[in-house]
Amino acid sequence: MSTDLIATADVPTDAAALAALFGPDPDQGQRAAVEALVDDLFERRGALAPDELASLRPLVDAGLRALDAGELRAAHPVDGRWAVDTFTKKLILLSFLTMESAVAASAPGRPRTFDKLPLKFENWEAADFESSRVRVVPGAVVRYGAYLGPGVVLMPSFVNVGAYVGAGTMIDTWATVGSCAQIGERCHISGGAGIGGVLEPIGEEPVIIEDGVFIGARSEVAEGVRVRRGAVLGMGVYLGRSTPVVDRATGAVSYGEIPEGAVVVPGTRADPNHPEIATYAAVIVKYADDGTRGKTALNDLVRS
């Protein structure tokens, strides 16, 4: 392949045209060419020459800008389902080959960082925060390439590249939002909760938390699990792809998804092959009612 990768792939080279490829109405032929190019480069990632990486940099920069602005997502809703875009993860991973680590700008008395991606707020001024309507408490860390919707509140927490956090959501103290995780609008991610990422292990799909979900303190959602709209996870619920989700009312067992409105707590169930052993399970104890909503209602005062 030619070392002038973008030109060879029939992809525009100027910044404005590249940005348009990640907008709401891209040229479908050029977008398909970009995705094919990224797929090829990702397969050859261990053998790329320096000039190939250099010619890829404008495309990587445009993709990261689009992720940062919420125009490009690792997954997006389509007719009530979710479509996962593996192109996004591949583009982020290729950025680690095209970018050099650098010392990030830091205010006096704050820790320095040395990373291939800058921090999201490094060059923001008061007007940027006001226009975005994002509130950032000291100690919150967000990498460039993560999107934050209007009204998002960040307590001391961490949001990784490629994540999407919907409007009005709070990420509480010591919570983490992993790479490419998709968090809906008006969610509460409680203190110490972890939302898993996808960059490592490389084959993971993004975790998806739909609108209006409450994640209890010290809970963990990983391995591409999907938590549907309005669900409530109690404190200390751990969810992975292989975690059995048991409906207490019916005894039904499912994996990888929490139904809409379900209220889930940590529990156990007997191992079918060794009944004397109880293994971990997430248990649906009921579906959210007015009492549940009263206990998990969001406080708009902290979002004002």
Q: Can you give the three-state secondary structure of the chain, one letter per residue? A: CCCCHHHHCCCCCCHHHHHHCCCCCCCHHHHHHHHHHHHHHHHCHHHCCHHHHHHHHHHHHHHHHHHHHCCCCCEEEECCEEEECHHHHHHHHHHHHHCCCEECCCCCCCCCCEECCCECCCCCCHHHHHHHCCEECCCCEEECCCEECCCCEECCCEECCCCEECCCCEECCCCEECCCCEECCCCEECCCCEECCCCCCCCCCCCEECCCCEECCCCEECCCCEECCCCEECCCCEECCCCCEEECCCCCEECCEECCCEEEEEEEEECCCCCCCEEEEEEEEEECCHHHHHHHCCCHHHHC
Domain identity same for 84 and 151: no
**Global pTM value:** 0.92
pLDDT of residue 141: 94
- Establish if 171 belongs to a structural domain: yes
Least trusted range by pLDDT, from 8-22, 65-79, 167-181: 8-22
Q: Do 160 and 23 reside in the same domain of the chain?
A: no
State what percent of residues in the chain have pLDDT above 70. 93
Domains contained in the chain, number: 2
Is the pLDDT at 1 greater than 60? The verdict is no
What range does the domain containing 210 cover? 119-287
Q: Does a structural domain hold residue 260?
A: yes
Domain with residue 280: its CATH number is 2.160.10.10
The average confidence (pLDDT) of the chain is: 90
142 and 211 in a single domain? The answer is: yes
- Catalytic residue annotation: 172, 197, 220
Q: What is the pLDDT of residue 105?
A: 66
**Residue 301: inside a domain, yes or no?**
no
- Residues 89 and 221 placed together within one structural domain of the fold: no
Residue 167 confidence (pLDDT): 97
Please check whether residues 165 and 252 belong to one and the same domain: yes
CATH of the domain at 34: 1.10.166.10
Task: Express each pLDDT in 7-58 by its tens digit.
Answer: 566 666 677 778 788 877 888 888 888 888 889 889 999 998 888 888 889 8
pLDDT of residue 3: 44
